[in-house]
Copies of this chain bind each other. A is one copy, B any other.
Amino acid sequence: MYRLLVADDHPLFREAMVAVISRGLSGSETLEAASLAAAIGVVAQHDDLDLALLDLGLPDAEGLSGLAQLRQAAPWLPVVIVSAEQHKQTILEALNLGAVGYIPKSTPRDALLAALQQVLAGQVYLPPDIMRGSQPGSAAPPPTPSQLASLTGKQREVLAHMVKGESNKMIAYRLDIAETTVKTHVSAILRKLRVSSRVQAILLASERDDAVR
């Protein structure tokens, strides 16, 4: 009926998930991947998948960057995040990155099944608690507190120029360093901020540019 991909590094959890699916969505086929790289490999060869279940915390994908990479590799593939984490901010960012749902690992089996059916039907599934809380923007727990703090001095400096809309070449000129060096810094920034493009880094940074100024 459906073709699903389960990407999780815990074999046990994968098994459980597959069991739930095979029992609840009879006739469905499941593929498995123990790493992000494997998952990307799978989706590259199977363009007929209906849904991917992606665990946050894969060894080769730090958090949401895995989602970004997977979505990049296969924009046509709906992805549901399956995670132990439940921070509101993480969930919102996942949606922002194109996830069609977010399923906490603590979800009971029947609710999990319902959630899967919901996203397979084209809906978005979110844990009930996140939907009832206050507005996404308001009174949110310090969303991205520490990632900016982990940047080194030069990296912060480069980021400040990025936020002004400057190209790598311009930044190099302004800071009087080589463009390749700027690229090095930019790559480091993207990695630390766990995003996959300059634009996302800029948006993240300018949301709370307090840290940059």
A127 contacts the other chain (CB 8 A)? no
- Cross-chain contact A200 with B165 (CB below 8 angstroms): yes
- Cross-chain contact B71 with A170 (CB below 8 angstroms): yes
If A198-B199, A199-B199, A202-B202 touch, whether A169 touches B96 (CB-CB below 8 Å) is: no
Chain B residues closer than 8 Å to A75, beta-carbon distance? 169-170, 172-173
Chain B residues closer than 8 Å to A206, beta-carbon distance? 203, 206
> Within the assembled complex, what's the spacing in Å between the Cα atoms of A104 and B167?
28
Would you list which residues of chain A between 172 and 211 have a CB under 8 Å from chain B? 172-174, 195, 197-200, 202-203, 206
- Cross-chain contact A165 with B199 (CB below 8 angstroms): yes
| Number of chain A residues close to chain B: CB under 8 A | 27
Chain B residues closer than 8 Å to A170, beta-carbon distance? 71, 75, 98
Q: Which residue of B lies closest to A173 (CB)?
A: B75
Q: List 18 A-B contacts (CB under 8 A).
A: A72-B167, A72-B169, A75-B169, A75-B170, A75-B172, A96-B164, A96-B165, A98-B166, A98-B170, A135-B174, A137-B166, A165-B195, A165-B197, A165-B200, A167-B197, A198-B199, A202-B202, A203-B206
* Besides the known contacts A162-B199, A206-B206, 15 further A-B residue pairs in the complex with CB atoms under 8 A apart: A72-B167, A72-B169, A96-B164, A96-B165, A98-B174, A135-B174, A137-B166, A164-B203, A165-B195, A165-B197, A165-B200, A165-B203, A199-B199, A199-B202, A203-B206
Chain A residues within 8 Å of B, Cβ to Cβ: 71-72, 75-76, 96, 98, 135, 137, 162-167, 169-170, 172-174, 195, 197-200, 202-203, 206
